[in-house]
Structure 1
Amino acid sequence: MTESSDSNLVSVPSILAVSCSESKSSKDLIADLLQGVCSPAPDYMEENIDGYKWDMNTKYYTATVKVCAPKYRTVPSAEFAESVEAVMLYFRPQSRDEFVVVQSWLRTIDQLYAPTVKLLICEFSVDGDEVPRQELMNFCIDRQLELVELAPVEIDSEEEEFGGASHGFARIRSALYAHMWSNLTMKAETPRNLRTALDAAASHHQEETERSSANVLEATAVEGNQEEMGLEEREVDMFEQLFSRLHQFKSTAETLSNEERRSYAEQITKQFWKSMGDDSEEDSLSD
């Protein structure tokens, strides 16, 4: 490990990677996440925290983030705490003790950080686990976590075909790519409406992390009744609102039958296209 001389790295957005299991370390989690996309050598962030630089390069934007492995559940500097925009926690539902550790970490995260993206990661989850699947799903809904299984016992082929990767590190990367990082830089070819939405969300990241989804919905409803709000501003609000509710959409979909889930997914897709001022639905953001 080398101490980085680049002070700018300390202030870039952070992803906190936490393992609550002895079966996989935080650094193992990071290595799997960043396999083939960055150097495995960590930079020194601050005492007891190693950071791995990740230069994201998506179709529509670029952003530099750091994926951090804390050695202990300690109080970081205020600067580091403010930089955390996403959290990944790994555990095994087969161990109630590890679930207790997850809950302890979440209390610490709630006290010290304000991440927009919160992912709870496990190998798989079934009803016979020490933490039964239904209990785990309810816990994720209550705590606004997205559950990601690395190797699920059952894979819904229809969901995979329609919505893309729903499990594994492919899903984790997709969730992180979908986040509007506070330092993202839009590419020139990005559609105007999407550029406007992402630029506005990035510039107001800190404000948005302090507002709940309910507040966003209420504010949008009130503003929508004001005649002076232009069409483009309403599109930005709708786009940000939909992004803030992605975890709710996923949780709702998991309670539906295959036919109901497909219809529900189509409705959500139409809402996203409408938020970008495009009703054609002929193109895909993931092309």
Structure 2
Amino acid sequence: MSMNKFPCVLIYSCSDDDPLKTIKLIRDEENIQVSNYEGNILSNCWTIDCKYYTADINLCTSNNLNELSEQFIHNVNAIIILFNIEKSNMIEIMDKCLPVVKQSQAEVLILLSEKKIDEMSTNVNSNTIFEWCRKNNFELIVLDEIADEMDTTGIERVRQALYAHHWPNLKAKCQITHPSTKAVIEDTVINSQLSGELSDLKMDTEQDTDLFSEMFEVDNDFFKTIDKVRKLKEKISAMPDEERKDAAEKALTESWKAFFGEDVDF
């Protein structure tokens, strides 16, 4: 398959941050090979090789969204927007990315900040950023945020979101149709830190509850389950900290019941 046929991750900078730096962080490599995909698009080919599948994808950057071809946008499965909270016109700049987001129908949407959002040192109200993420189904990730035992943050969270996506060209190493064994739980929930993904959840609408119930249908395979977890989080991300605890407890309880049965003790 030609490199131009691989699904793509578009990394676009709304700030002075270099997208190539983000690609190096994702790959955890300082020396990467970059080629010209088409037009003003630079690309780095990356083979995702995890326990369950392999997939060849392109990590791409462009400095002009207006020059992206329809074919390229069609191949975009994930979009990562780099932003600087200290810029006063940040929301306006981010809004200019939305036409490409909608045209691409990308399922992994990440707003990536170099620094933690501090209300006292920014020109943009933090709630405005959270609302933008909620409205446009983006996940806000901060690079310098420190993870706790139940959460994944920074570039590790970016990698996790990319690993969890069901890439159209993935080659499965095994078939999982009913994740009910302890070994699978350890790999998909603990090692992938699925509990960390669920820690930001808040189920407060009928639509979210329906999606949560659907997520644990017994005929779902591994990739669909992980993908629905991510979509559920995106729908209700960026909620205040005080509202997350009850939702996280409910989500984790239902997760264990789905995997181990109703009789499990908590």
Cα displacement (A) at 1:239: 6.2
- Match among 173, 176, 191 for residue 187 of structure 1: 173
Counterparts in 2 of 1:181 and 1:70: CA distance versus 1, 3 Å: same
- How far apart in 2 are the matches of 1:270 and 1:126? 33
Matched, 1:175 2:168: no
Matched, 1:35 2:28: yes
- Match among 233, 238, 250 for residue 251 of structure 1: 238
Give the AA of the match of 2:14: C
Match of 1:107 in 2: 99
Q: For each residue in 1:49-73, what CA deviation from the matched residue of structure 2 results, as whole angstroms up to 9, or x when unmatched? A: 1111111112222111111011312
Structure 2 matches for 1:1-287, cutoff 5 A? 8-22=2-16, 24-36=17-29, 40-110=32-102, 112-122=103-113, 123-128=115-120, 129-152=122-145, 155=146, 160-163=148-151, 165-166=152-153, 168-188=154-174, 191-193=176-178, 217=210, 232=219, 241-252=228-239, 254-256=240-242, 261=245, 263-273=246-256, 277-279=259-261
Give the AA of the match of 1:74: N
Decide whether the 8 Å contact of 1:87 with 1:117 is kept in 2: yes
Identity within the alignment, %: 20
SS, match of residue 250 in structure 2: helix
Decide whether the 8 Å contact of 2:178 with 2:220 is kept in 1: no
Counterparts in 2 of 1:60 and 1:281: CA distance versus 1, 3 Å: farther
Counterparts in 2 of 1:108 and 1:242: CA distance versus 1, 3 Å: closer
Give the AA of the match of 2:149: E
SS, match of residue 96 in structure 1: coil
Cα displacement (A) at 1:43: 2.5
- How far apart in 1 are the matches of 2:95 and 2:220? 39
Cα displacement (A) at 1:280: 8.9
Cα displacement (A) at 1:215: 10
Unaligned runs of 5+ in 2: 180-205
TM superposition score normalised by structure 1: 0.69
RMSD: 3.5
Q: For each residue in 1:233-259, what CA deviation from the matched residue of structure 2 results, as whole angstroms up to 9, or x when unmatched? A: 69997765434212235434x4326xx
Give the AA of the match of 1:162: M
- How far apart in 1 are the matches of 2:32 and 2:263? 40
Match of 1:198 in 2: none
Q: For each residue in 1:159-205, what CA deviation from the matched residue of structure 2 results, as whole angstroms up to 9, or x when unmatched? A: x2123x22x211111111121111222223x64425xxxxxxxxxxx
Give the AA of the match of 2:132: F
Match of 1:226 in 2: none
SS, match of residue 65 in structure 2: coil
Q: For each residue in 1:80-139, what CA deviation from the matched residue of structure 2 results, as whole angstroms up to 9, or x when unmatched? A: 1111010000111111234322121223432x3111111001122111211121221111
Counterparts in 2 of 1:9 and 1:217: CA distance versus 1, 3 Å: farther
TM superposition score normalised by structure 2: 0.74
SS, match of residue 173 in structure 1: helix
Give the AA of the match of 2:106: P
Cα displacement (A) at 1:216: 11
**Matched positions, count:** 235
- How far apart in 2 are the matches of 1:10 and 1:21? 27
Decide whether the 8 Å contact of 1:127 with 1:134 is kept in 2: no
